[in-house]
Amino acid sequence: MHRVHNFSAGPAALPLSVLEKMQAELLDWQGRGYSVMEMGHRTPMFREIVDQSERDLRELMHIPKDYSVLFLPGGARVQFAMLPMNLSANYPCIDFIETGFWSQTAIAEAKRYANVNIVASSKQDHYSYIPARDTWQLNPNAAYCYYTANETIEGVEFYDIPDVGDIPLVCDMTSNILARPIEVSRFGVIFAGAQKNAGIAGLTLVIIRNDLLQRQKLPHTPSVFDYALEAEKSSLLITPPTFSWYVTSLVLNWLKEQGGLEAIAKINQQKSDLLYQIIDEYDCYTNPIQKQCRSRSNVVFRLANAELEHQFLQQAEARDLFFLKGHAVSGGIRASLYNAVPLETVQILAEFMREFANTIG
Ligand SMILES: *Cc1c(COP(=O)(O)O)cnc(C)c1O
């Protein structure tokens, strides 16, 4: 078997032991004579996966009792529409912090359903920082205040949860959920597509404070987009992506085996520190993001020109260092360091970066 050092931004690397478990159980799940994909989502057997994954997520993230946990079909972008549909009726606007491609995309979608108030933006400066909290022009009557905890493409991350008073805080955590402990009680809604740090494509985790389930929906909200209905049906309204849900349950179990979020956070910190240290040490690498908000999930850097970046990527691949090309929107190099990327893998990349820097002088 040959496996590369995988720095994919998403869908991303999975822990090897999770893949092995999937493989071992594929034809005959738990000795029952069928695969996990070949049984009803309402069976007591699938219910075990449903209940265990919710218990594990609640335990790992210390989710308070007054929050519901939903496992919804579709990608993170589905939430860009579901949020305004479910939460913005009878409110004058939604407040948004614009810090990169993903918040910009969420704003464009929300505009189709609601008034959008961009309370702060770093767009003019190519999304290279997070606007200081004291510059934000919040509307005290906003339906909610929305931000993106980690901008996966630009490589910008909020290190602190912003204080927005009594306005419910809504957060896209697709690229850094489960990367470290966070205080869930500070949020109205947290959501994350599973394919970066919590499993494979097809499933999105939504953690929502129960009082928000009571809000009136926009008149044409499809019933399949109704948070309250999905909560009432234990996320089984639509046949859920059962295999994706199963993989998430394996990933959550793996995280518990690693010692939970405190333990994984320490490793994650070492991983990103290692790469930023090299970027700062060698003149040939540049990272345009202000130091106090450099992403720990997606380390983005550039070389002097496209030719050098091409050489870097080619030589990296020759050493089994894969998927380091930056997103088409931003170019350059990007190393995604999600939970399933081991420290040793990042050390191998770091070694290569030093060598490459030395050879080009
Ligand atoms: C990848 C990503 C998305 C989009 O996810 P889809 O599942 O493709 O809709 C949204 N937000 C962030 C922060 C992401 O990293």
Q: How far apart are CA 207 and CA 210, in angstroms?
A: 9
pLDDT classification of 329: cutoffs 50, 70, 90: confident
Residue 267 near residue 146 (C-beta atoms within 8 A): no
Residue-level pLDDT at 264: 98
Reported as a single tens digit per residue, the pLDDT across 106-127 is 999 999 999 999 999 999 999 9
Reported as a single tens digit per residue, the pLDDT across 203-244 is 999 999 999 999 999 999 999 999 999 999 999 999 999 999
Residue 269 near residue 70 (C-beta atoms within 8 A): no
pLDDT classification of 324: cutoffs 50, 70, 90: very high
Q: How far apart are CA 219 and CA 17, in angstroms?
A: 46
Residue-level pLDDT at 159: 98
Strand segments, DSSP code E, in 186-318 are 189-193, 203-209, 298-301
Is residue 172 part of the annotated active site? The answer reads: yes
Q: Is 268 helix (H, G, I), strand (E, B) or coil?
A: helix
Is residue 102 part of the annotated active site? The answer reads: yes
Sign of torsion, CA 351 309 200 102? positive
Residue 18 near residue 198 (C-beta atoms within 8 A): no
CA-nearest of 1, 2, 7, 3 to 349 is 7
pLDDT classification of 262: cutoffs 50, 70, 90: very high
pLDDT classification of 328: cutoffs 50, 70, 90: confident
Q: How far apart are CA 294 and CA 239, in angstroms?
A: 39
The string of DSSP codes covering 212-232 is GGGSPPPTT--GGG-HHHHHH
Cα–chain-centroid distance for residue 344? Answer: 22
Please tell me if the CB atom of residue 76 comes closer than 6 angstroms to any atom of ligand 1: yes
Look at the pTM and tell me if it is higher than 0.75: yes
- pLDDT at residue 330 is higher than 90: no
| Nearest residue (CA) to ligand 1, atom 12 | 174
| Nearest residue (CA) to ligand 1, atom 10 | 76
User: Which atom of ligand 1 is least distant from the CA of 193?
Assistant: 7
Is residue 196 part of the annotated active site? The answer reads: yes
Residue 137 near residue 145 (C-beta atoms within 8 A): no
Least confident of 49-53, 78-82, 357-361: 357-361
Reported as a single tens digit per residue, the pLDDT across 343-354 is 999 999 999 999
| Nearest residue (CA) to ligand 1, atom 2 | 174
Residue-level pLDDT at 299: 98
- pLDDT at residue 361 is higher than 80: no
The secondary element (H helix, E strand) that includes residue 119 is: strand 116-121
Residue-level pLDDT at 1: 87
Q: What is the mean pLDDT of residues 134-153?
A: 97
Residue-level pLDDT at 331: 85
Q: How far apart are CA 345 and CA 322, in angstroms?
A: 11
Mean pLDDT of the chain: 97
Neighbours of 310 (CB within 10 A): 12
Residue 296 near residue 337 (C-beta atoms within 8 A): yes
User: Which atom of ligand 1 is least distant from the CA of 204?
Assistant: 7
What is the biggest distance separating any 2 CA atoms in the chain, rounded to whole angstroms? 63
